[in-house]
Structure 1
């Protein structure tokens, strides 16, 4: 068991998991994102994810941080943390996106990655007049799109004739600093998402789920990726509530859950969701706090409980934890102080046990 990486979701919507916590500002500004990512860097976090929407899916009147301009600025404002920018292929021609990514790769000295998201919120495509393809066709489009992007990242002259894109004698320079190219993360709960990740991803993003569900999903996607030359990595989203005791953590969970139930009006969001998106079909099955599975991963409990659960997820193949907190800054610092050292100790202990068994 190796020690996992830890990352944070930048609060691009201005809040986290539909809450409006009294100690947390509703602030989607770049300034807040910069302050949080710099704090995360100081706290030992090694990666961050910036989700992408052009309008706020929960309420189109609210602010929404723009992903790619923020990613470029955050690359300049930081020194060590990996910056992952989500991208929806329907919003960018692959040649344009490939060149933009190479620019941020250079600004960050090779710390940049992309999270390929095939889209689920209809209004941000339909309102500007972008054709919103059917669910499975979006994945076929994304598959061809990322092949073009990777080819252009190679530094070679590209000729590509596909169903959606035709590239003629195009070469992008300079070549990427990250080798062989920026990492590609892919997530999703549908069969097409698993197939795309198995073929094209460096790391597969899992939504927070109970450990038995995560174990099964890792096994399924690993089987699809069995012919790859390089193994597929796994990352998982989770919302953390850690306290000195399990009882205190449960009380805070109930407090946050009550905020969600009191304030969360998903009517606008759900009206815009593609009904074929599996993640939203599973929302009722895994209720809780936070987005992308949130507390369904079970990282709620005493410091010892949370550390042991992270260690258990690590044993089954989760190498990166992309985390949410509320209030964000203070709870992130608590995680750094109380949880990361405990997981480090468990890692050393488990490695020693494994060594004795050899």
Structure 2
């Protein structure tokens, strides 16, 4: 068992800083996108086994998300409202200058005692760029820009005479002060990224600290992990892996399945269709047609990042065993969404997480 496999799984949750919850459905959702609700949720989450939270990034109304709080400012507010939670702010290269973002992260990291992180989103929603008057690059170029963006911020965070020369960004003898908090095993704030394409996997292997996979089967996620690891090995790097999942835990499997059925039956069909058209167009723009959402069906798209496909639906025991199967395939972190956040996060901490930890202990016993 490698070192990362022997470590306890980490858990993150999607911050509901966007209206409409985490499913594109007209089902009742006792989840609120406002700050007071999210502050309460963040404190609850860090007391129920969650180490990370990911603030979403949306700039305009789209596909059931009529209102959106900006991700970096919202992340800082949550950092200051908590004690242990690490908050990942999703950001878009092309809408941020890397030097400005690096400065923001350094300040947020200092204020929070080293708990700030970023998720670099190369972009799938063309309107967010063009309606702001920014150019929309082709798929491969978006990832080339993102890779330069990550190299730039890591350089400026760690060097007293930062230098970078690329096709998109340049940096000349720059000394950022204060720098982010440095500590054991952490030279700089963690950099996450998502994506499914060959471009995304290659970028992760070369420059990112974490690779987020959309919801998928254990076998599907394992294939992505294998590709990223092969690239990382060539570059002498180690990458960690997270997978998205929408978790519906109930006392019986029948109850959980009924919740899923109701979510899909009450889907906002127009919004789901619009979302599906936009993301499939983005995925088709990849040279090998391996972009995200390419094989997603209508029911999958009701949850933005294919979270139903991860199969975290059932009793606490069923879900815990499913989670351990992902860990066996190389997953280090589960990024979770919920229907009714306050109730479901508390249920997870009380009923699901203890079983996960018991199963992890049993796995360690087998190899000791």
Instruction: Answer whether TM exceeds 0.5 for this pair.
Output: yes
Q: Are 2:16 and 1:3 equivalent residues in the alignment?
A: no
Contact 1:210 1:297 in 2 (8 A): yes
Between 228-237 and 87-96, the greater mean CA deviation after superposition: 228-237
- Aligned partner of 2:234 in structure 1 is 227
What is the TM-score normalised by the length of structure 1? 0.93
The answer to whether 1:166 aligns with 2:173 is no
Deviations 1:71-106 (A, max 9, x none): 111111111011101111111111111101111111
Does residue 337 (structure 1) correspond to residue 344 (structure 2)? The answer is: no
SS at structure 1 position matched to 2:249: strand
Q: 2:266 is paired with a residue of what secondary structure?
A: helix
1:309-348 paired onto structure 2 within 5 Å: 309-348=322-361
Most deviating of 37-46 and 90-99: 37-46
Q: Give the 5 Å matches for 1:238-277.
A: 238-260=245-267, 262=268, 265-270=271-276, 272-273=278-279, 275-277=281-283
Secondary structure class of the residue paired with 2:89: strand
Where does residue 280 of structure 1 map in the other structure? Answer: 293
CA distance in 2, matches of 1:165, 1:302: 49
Give the distance between the partners of 1:48 and 1:73, measured in 2 at CA.
12
1:210 to 194, 213, 217: 217
Single out whichever of 158-167 and 336-345 deviates more from structure 2: 158-167
Q: Distance in 2 between matches of 1:271 and 1:235?
A: 26
Q: Is the 8 A contact 1:114 1:182 kept in 2?
A: yes
2:301 and 2:294 map into 1 onto residues whose CA distance is: 15
Does 2:348 correspond to 1:351?
Answer: no
Alpha-carbon distance, 1:70 to partner: 0.7
Aligned-partner Cα distance in 2 for 1:90–1:142? 9
Say whether residues 1:195 and 2:210 are aligned partners.
no
Counterpart of 1:88 in structure 2 is 92
Deviations 1:127-179 (A, max 9, x none): 11011111111111111111111111014212322211222222111121043
Are 1:49 and 2:62 counterparts? Answer: no
Distance 1:123 1:289 in 2: 21
1:354 & 1:169 partners in 2: Cα distance? 50
Per-residue deviation at 1:115? Answer: 0.6
Match of 1:125 in 2: 129
**Separation of aligned partners in 2, 1:200 and 1:266:** 33
Partner of 2:271, secondary structure, is coil
Map of 1:18 onto structure 2: 24
> Secondary structure at 1:72's aligned position in 2?
helix
Q: What displacement does 1:59 show?
A: 4.8
How far apart are 1:205 and its partner, in Å?
0.5
Alpha-carbon distance in 1 for matches of 2:173, 2:232: 31
- Cα root mean square deviation, aligned: 1.9
Which whole-Å CA distance do the structure 1 matches of 2:351 and 2:235 have between them? 38
What does 1:39-118 correspond to in 2, within 5 Å?
Answer: 39-59=44-64, 62-118=66-122
Whole-Å Cα distance in 1 between the matches of residues 253 and 302 of structure 2?
A: 17
Structure 1 window deviating more from structure 2 (298-307 vs 14-23): it is 14-23
CA contact (8 A) 1:98 1:149 kept: yes
Mind listing any 5+ residue stretches in structure 2 that lack a counterpart? Answer: 1-5, 284-290
* Equivalent position to 1:136, from 114, 117, 140: 140
Cα distance change of structure 1 residues 11 and 264 upon mapping to structure 2, 3 Å threshold? farther
Deviations 1:36-66 (A, max 9, x none): 1111112221110012121132257x21111
User: Deviation at 1:248?
Assistant: 2.3
Question: Secondary structure of 1:204's partner?
Answer: strand
4+ residue runs over 4 A deviation: 270-274
> Which position in structure 1 is the counterpart of 2:317?
304
